[in-house]
Structure 1
Amino acid sequence: MTSWLGIARFGLVQAALGAIVVLTTSTINRVMIVELALPAMVPGLLVTWHYALQVLRPSWGHGSDKGGRRTPWIIAGMGTLALGGFGAALSVQLMQQNMVMGSIAAIVSFTLIGAGVGAAGTSLLVLLANQVDDKRRAAAATIVWIMMIAGFVITAGLAGHFLDPFSTERLLTVAACICAGSFLLTLIAVRGLETGRVNLTKTEDKVPFRQAIAEVWADHTARRFAIFIFVSMLAYSAQDLILEPFAGLVFGLTPGQTTSLSGVQNSGVLLGMVLVGAASTLLPRLMTLRNWTVLGCLGSALALVGLVAAAQVGPGWPLKPSVFALGFCNGVFAVAAIGSMFNMANNGTSREGVRMGLFGASQAIAFGIGGFAGTALADVSRMVLGSPVMAYATVFAVEACFFIAAALLAAAIGNRQGFGVAANPLVLAARHQTSGS
């Protein structure tokens, strides 16, 4: 099994992946809107397209299953992602000269980004699930995700420093350094990391993708877990684009203050992740990952109810503690769900890549829909209710309902006969499969 140093190496790959993604979804997004004065929907549609491509994750996972090794998929995916990241920066320069050619280049680049993230990310998580002991998976998920967030922070800071004074030439240089550096870091981190290979029978090796995904989807527990991921991540992402506007409108916070508020929320997320990771490793009998997941979802719902109250009370409400509580509960449920996802993918049966691809696709599609749905619901509610304050309260209330639904879904997984004795009720054990599931 992989050591803590090996887990950190997985985290380096995730950080490299995150570095390129944040360059495209944050920095280049901002440049298109501000410096190029394009409508916000242009980069918005490009980011949505990159999420939409994640529906192909199960197919890429199936490819790594059949190939028997994950590392080539990780390297190929990161190479594709790096090309897409540099291409996205290049498309900005082309847009200044020829908008049509620049737009075509942007579409191609974000296609490469979506494909690269899906191929590399799916195989990376499957490899992590295969090579990390089940007692360490929650801690491993915490380490890997914290390192990914660190990749976001470091990249944003360095890019911001070297992009001033801004020019498209500087953007290309910064993008080239980040993309090339991330790919090189991946090559170093994965060297010798994968031990063994997937053992497939000749029959399994010839199974077409449609049959493989049908077999996984027919699995009652895997299907319900994929639905749980979709519902919970839809709730998780729906407030991304409305929390800062809500704080500015209702509480009168400045742009700098709302940015700091996001920092408060992310601090809560990190603390929640660390708590679950540490508790699951040091006190594994304290609670199962399923119970942490349910608790995090219910806590998130309660924190959102607090934001509904904040909309009614206004500046007198303790906004920062409420936002911190939301972030903390989000972190608890997210890292517990990720650890459970590792267990679900690595359950002693074949099709690990397809399973992880299915779960990853559910997460990515929910993220792609969530941000847009949150803003759309806020706009519709404002037109119907005639009050922007009530519109935000409505979105928070709907999110709370989704988190409660997610908690019920998570609580139900593993309760069927034969699963209750598992150390982690979210683990699907082939030897306990029941008829009719």
Structure 2
Amino acid sequence: MTLSWLQIFRLGLVQACLGAIVVLMTSTLNRLMVVELALPVVLPGALVALHYGVQITRPQWGHLADQGGNRSRWIIAGMVLLALGGVGATLAIPLLESNLALGLAVSVLAYAVIGLGVGASGTSLLALLATATAERRRPAAATITWLMMIAGIAITAITAGKFLDPYSHARLLVVVAIICAGAVALTILAVWGIERRVIARAAPAPQSFRDGLADIWADTRARHFTFFVFLSMTAYFMQELILEPYAGLVFGFTPGQSTSMSGAQNGGVFLGMVLVGVAATGFRLGSLRVWVMSGCAGSAAMLIGIAGASFWALPLVPLVVALGFFNGMFAVAAIGSMMQLAGEGADKREGARVGLWGASQAMAAGFGGLTGAALVDAARSLMPVADAFGAVFLFQATLFIASAALAARIMTPRAVAALVPGE
């Protein structure tokens, strides 16, 4: 018996909880440090980068989940760690105001725990989905879980924003503590009893983490997919820190207009994800390989348009929305492919495989954003502003084209056929 739609939805609630806590750390606390506490922007940026860097431990978490044969407990344990890290990061805010050194120490520890929690819970969740989801449902499962994460982020941001005014450190702590406690409770309810009702592979023979990772790395397809994840996700995140500045510096957008543009881009991501989930699962149109390649190629085309928008007098917002659409298409198809390839392994180590690819994605997220910003700064010293941004967007487009070519090589029609009829 594989996961039912209701069970997939329940596991999607875990993704919503992950997003709910992480958004508080990356947006609300980020704003408080920069605006209310007047700290350098680089400080919250470095803390967010730390939480990504710590996720290099994802393969270890996946290995532990594989060996134990009980992924639900690691999902819950990771969420508890994430909640503790979230509360700790919140406690650091008043400390940063009264004792900067102590506040920094608590913040570093808290964000490291946040990274550990995301790695443990997120990796184990994806491994369970990869193990127990019917092949033809994997595109929809990827869509459902990631859309629920976006929903968790949006609902938390709106709700927390209403309860935080009038602002005080004490009110912030209460709001964050309630959200974190609710996330842990909802996660326990979401995963309770699911593994007992589905067919999941037996735990693999005991093996050290080093030996297990070596065996996975020896698998050519797994190794190449790791490179694909890093390359494509570097391209995916490269415009994260430069798109809004580009809109302001080159097109004269106000802060409100550029923020609205980012919201519209996320709307495009949502539509792209829905398209893959509905078309691939509901109508069985195309394979995951086709959707990944189409998303990468479409993203590259939109980036070329964005790079030349000021020269060709093209409207920026529609291009950015279309970029989001193709990004969403690519992202959810790539997640579905990851679930597919993790489940194909004869070594029964879905957790370690998903952990390896998750670590690659986390490294790419931090590397891509910082690289895009650094390249723009370097290019602006050599050429006009519009040309500098355009050059980076064109470089990003080449990374997407290279990702599409790599996907074509790795994801053979046989390997990622995705849409086989039946359960």
TM-score, normalised relative to structure 2: 0.96
**1:431 equivalent in structure 2:** none
Q: CA RMSD in A?
A: 1.5
Q: Does 1:403 align with 2:400?
A: yes
1:384 aligns to what SS in structure 2? coil
1:154 aligns to what SS in structure 2? helix
Separation of aligned partners in 1, 2:310 and 2:356 = 37
Q: Alignment length, in residue pairs?
A: 416
Separation of aligned partners in 2, 1:51 and 1:312 = 36
2:66 aligns to what SS in structure 1? helix
**1:248 equivalent in structure 2:** 248
**1:435 equivalent in structure 2:** none
Separation of aligned partners in 1, 2:275 and 2:89 = 37
Q: Does 1:209 align with 2:248?
A: no
Separation of aligned partners in 1, 2:356 and 2:402 = 20
**1:225 equivalent in structure 2:** 225
Separation of aligned partners in 2, 1:71 and 1:423 = 27
Contact 1:69–1:197 (8 Å) recurs in 2: no
Q: Deviation per CA, 1:326-352: give whole Å up to 9, x if none.
A: 011101111111000001111152111
Q: CA deviation at 1:59?
A: 0.8
Separation of aligned partners in 1, 2:111 and 2:130 = 28
Q: CA deviation at 1:423?
A: 5.7
Q: How does 1:406-425 map to 2 (within 5 A)?
A: 406-415=403-412, 420-422=413-415, 424=417
**1:359 equivalent in structure 2:** 357
Identity %: 55
Q: Deviation per CA, 1:134-170: give whole Å up to 9, x if none.
A: 1011011111101000011011111211111221111
Q: CA deviation at 1:114?
A: 0.3
Supply the AA of the counterpart residue of 1:323: V
Q: How does 1:330-349 map to 2 (within 5 A)?
A: 330-349=327-346
Compare relative contact order (CA 8 Å, sep 6+) and give the higher one, 1 or 2. Answer: 2
Separation of aligned partners in 2, 1:240 and 1:404 = 18
Supply the AA of the counterpart residue of 2:132: Q
**2:310 equivalent in structure 1:** 311
Q: Does 1:288 align with 2:296?
A: no
Q: How does 1:131-146 map to 2 (within 5 A)?
A: 131-146=132-147
Q: Does 1:324 align with 2:317?
A: no
Separation of aligned partners in 2, 1:118 and 1:184 = 19
Contact 1:311–1:390 (8 Å) recurs in 2: no
Separation of aligned partners in 2, 1:421 and 1:331 = 24
- Structure 1 residues 423 and 42: CA distance shift in structure 2, 3 A: closer
Q: How does 1:34-53 map to 2 (within 5 A)?
A: 34-53=35-54
Contact 2:261–2:320 (8 Å) recurs in 1: yes
Q: CA deviation at 1:200?
A: 3.5
Supply the AA of the counterpart residue of 1:290: R
Separation of aligned partners in 2, 1:395 and 1:306 = 13
Contact 2:68–2:203 (8 Å) recurs in 1: no
Contact 2:276–2:291 (8 Å) recurs in 1: yes
Q: CA deviation at 1:422?
A: 4.5
Q: Does 1:106 align with 2:101?
A: no
Separation of aligned partners in 2, 1:128 and 1:268 = 25
Q: CA deviation at 1:391?
A: 1.3
**1:430 equivalent in structure 2:** none
- Decide which of 358, 379, 385 is 1:381's aligned counterpart: 379
Contact 1:58–1:354 (8 Å) recurs in 2: yes
Q: Deviation per CA, 1:90-120: give whole Å up to 9, x if none.
A: 0011111211111110011001100000000
Supply the AA of the counterpart residue of 1:291: V
**1:199 equivalent in structure 2:** 202
1:27 aligns to what SS in structure 2? helix
Q: CA deviation at 1:282?
A: 2.0
1:25 aligns to what SS in structure 2? helix
Q: Deviation per CA, 1:31-80: give whole Å up to 9, x if none.
A: 11111111011111111111011111001100111111101100100000
**1:434 equivalent in structure 2:** none
- Structure 1 residues 167 and 279: CA distance shift in structure 2, 3 A: same
Separation of aligned partners in 2, 1:422 and 1:261 = 38
Q: CA deviation at 1:421?
A: 3.6
Contact 2:136–2:418 (8 Å) recurs in 1: no
Contact 1:137–1:342 (8 Å) recurs in 2: yes
Separation of aligned partners in 2, 1:422 and 1:217 = 18
Contact 2:131–2:200 (8 Å) recurs in 1: no
Q: Deviation per CA, 1:404-428: give whole Å up to 9, x if none.
A: 010010000144xxxx54562899x
Contact 2:273–2:329 (8 Å) recurs in 1: yes
Contact 2:138–2:418 (8 Å) recurs in 1: no
Q: CA deviation at 1:367?
A: 0.3
Q: CA deviation at 1:374?
A: 0.9
Query: Structure 1 residue runs of 4+, over 6 Å off?
Result: none
Contact 1:250–1:389 (8 Å) recurs in 2: yes
Supply the AA of the counterpart residue of 1:40: V
After the TM superposition, which of the residue ranges 190-199 and 131-140 deviates more from structure 2? 190-199
- Structure 1 residues 330 and 390: CA distance shift in structure 2, 3 A: same
Contact 1:244–1:259 (8 Å) recurs in 2: yes
Supply the AA of the counterpart residue of 1:328: F
1:200 aligns to what SS in structure 2? coil
Supply the AA of the counterpart residue of 2:350: E
- Structure 1 residues 6 and 167: CA distance shift in structure 2, 3 A: same
Supply the AA of the counterpart residue of 1:352: E
Q: Deviation per CA, 1:170-193: give whole Å up to 9, x if none.
A: 111111111111111111111112
